[in-house]
Amino acid sequence: MSRKLHILARTGLLLALCCFVGFADDRYVINAKGDINKIASRYGLKLLRSLPGAGNGVHVLSGSGQNAAHVLHTLNSDPGVNSAEPDKPVLLPGKHTNSAVHPASAPQGAAFPLDGTPVFYYTSVAAKGYVNQPAAGVINVTESHTISTGNAKVAVIDTGIDRTNLVLASSIGDGYDFVNNAPLGTEKADVNQETTPILDQETTPILDQETTPILDGGSAIILNQETTPILDQETTPILDGKKYPAYGHGTMVSGLIHLVAPKATLLAVRTFAADGTSTISQIVAGIYWAIDHNADVISMSFSTSQNSPVLQKALNDANSKGIILVASAGNDGSANLVWPAAYSNVIGVGSTNNSDIRSLFSNYGTDASLAAPGEALITTYPSSNFGLQQHYAEVWGTSFSAPLVSGTAALLVEIDSHMNGSKAQNVFKQSSAPIGNQGLGDGELDAYQAAQTAKKNK
């Protein structure tokens, strides 16, 4: 079998965060203005962690054995506490409950087979099918690069970034892993050598739909560039989906940012584990880390149905520093509010197909202030054999529409060093293509028009 093979994973990993209340009943995240040690002692709580830097004043406490409702009531009544809430556990689910609006229900993309012809793409070499994919044409990526290539810092709050991926490697900057409290924020931190997806040159591996929930109803196939796709459901899965249902998501999101803003520096802010789990405190810690490391844009391909005061404060603090905030609008196919997209200072992004029609799975209404392609996008996937084999994925979901906007925001920052959230929202309002009454805010993203508008407004 040819060594020029790629993983093309049809995945609708939705990133609608499911909260399980009983998981962390004894952990609380506190925004305090008083002495946290005195506050903890007063209520018999244990201080687990205090956030440094810009996050000063945010703390995680534990109160094992106490009634959670009573603890929260007393904390929120304390004059030294601005807000107190459960440190809500969140999960990136591999399966979505509503198959009627499921991204995997979308038609098969036109990307089969992937055109793997290597082409130079600024600081790297990438597959032609990734660089010249239809969605890039929809939002006029090539034209936008005549004005800007996105020399800015984009913090990717996700599952990390694969630093061995040769398409992305030269664009990856600093990072941190809030799951393991370690530097770099690499995608592969939780995945050992035995379970890292490795392409077997002698067989035809396949990610089984039932044992690999990251595919969310889709399937992954090994493509030989010169043949039709090979699908073999009898062979051994590359990835144990029960253990690592979210593996690769941060690398996939990063690949789409890089497509639009190839000169952007990607900050790997790893707040989600490969099994898809996180907490509000980890996400908030990631936001403050991004502030402290001078991010220009924060890209958030996740959503939760529960509002969080401490999350809102962190994003307000980021906004006050001039950081542009972008988040996915959610994949419930409804107008239900989800956060952080519902916050007024966050650009919520819904999904369309390549004909500017709202995707069946995309949320709409208040959450969505902008739309971008979110069906059958081609993006980077974690490499194998120490980066020697480069893989690509085909993805669906607003989680993948959002990074196209994050990349465009980086273009705007390079054009105007004083660009901030409100100015970016105004640029998108002026430059987006109208797509009718579809509940997708200002319309379809146009990176070229956005760059022109930013240059004109500078």
3-state secondary structure 227-242: CCCECCCCCCCCCCCC
- With cut-offs at 50, 70 and 90, classify the pLDDT of residue 205: very low
Taking each helix axis as running N to C, give the angle between helix 309-320 and helix 280-292, from 0 to 180 degrees, rounded to the nearest 10: 10
- Nearest Cα neighbor of 8 from 237, 219, 247 is 219
Q: Residues 6 or more apart from 175 whose CB is under 8 A from it?
A: 160, 161, 183, 184, 185, 186, 267, 268, 269, 270
In the DSSP assignment, the letter for residue 440 is -
Query: What are the tens digits of pLDDT across the range 13-52?
Result: 444 333 333 345 689 999 999 899 999 999 999 999 999 9
Q: What is the pTM of this model?
A: 0.87
What CATH number labels 23-88?
3.30.70.80
The predicted pLDDT at position 388 comes to 72
| pLDDT value at residue 274 | 87
Q: If you average pLDDT over every residue of the chain, what do you get?
A: 81
Alpha-helix residue ranges (DSSP H) falling in 100-242:
128-131, 134-138, 141-144
Report the phi/psi class of residue 44: left, alpha or beta, with left for phi > 0 and alpha for psi in -120 to 50: left
Whether 99 has a pLDDT exceeding 60, the answer reads: no
- Higher pLDDT among residues 95 and 304, named by residue: 304
Which tens digits make up the pLDDT trace of 327-372? 999 888 999 899 999 999 999 999 999 999 999 999 999 989 999 9
Flag whether pLDDT at 187 surpasses 80.
yes
Q: What is the mean pLDDT of residues 250-277?
A: 94
Q: What pLDDT is stored for residue 233 in this prediction?
A: 24
Nearest one of 404, 425, 394, 412 to 458, comparing CA atoms: 412
Mean of pLDDT values over 446-452: 98
Whole-number pLDDT of residue 193: 36
Helices of type H across 171-320: 249-260, 280-292, 309-320
* 290 and 314 Cβ atoms separated by less than 8 Å: no
Return d(Cα 304, Cα 87) in angstroms, integer. 13
Q: Where are the domains of the chain?
A: 5-17+93-457, 23-88
Query: 7-11, 283-287, 381-385, 388-392: which range is least confident on average?
Result: 7-11
Distance between first and last Cα of the chain: 54
CA atoms within 13 A of residue 73's CA, in its CB half-sphere:
5
Q: Quick one: average pLDDT of 94-112?
A: 38
Higher pLDDT, 152 or 90: 152
- Is residue 183 pLDDT above 70, yes or no? yes
**Is there a contact between 98 and 363 (Cβ–Cβ < 8 Å)?**
no
Distance CA 318, CA 310 (A): 12
For the domain made up of 5-17+93-457, give the CATH fold: Rossmann fold (3.40.50)
pLDDT band at 92 (very low <50, low <70, confident <90, very high): low
Phi-psi region of 439 (alpha: psi -120 to 50; beta: other; left: phi over 0): left
What digits encode the pLDDT tens for the residues 109-156?
444 578 888 999 999 999 999 999 999 999 999 999 999 999 999 999
What is the pLDDT, as a whole number, of residue 393?
Answer: 83
* Bridge partners, residue 158, by sequence: 270
- Confidence grade of residue 431 (pLDDT, cut at 50, 70, 90): very high
d(CA 59, CA 81): 11
Could you give the percent of the chain with pLDDT greater than 70? Answer: 78
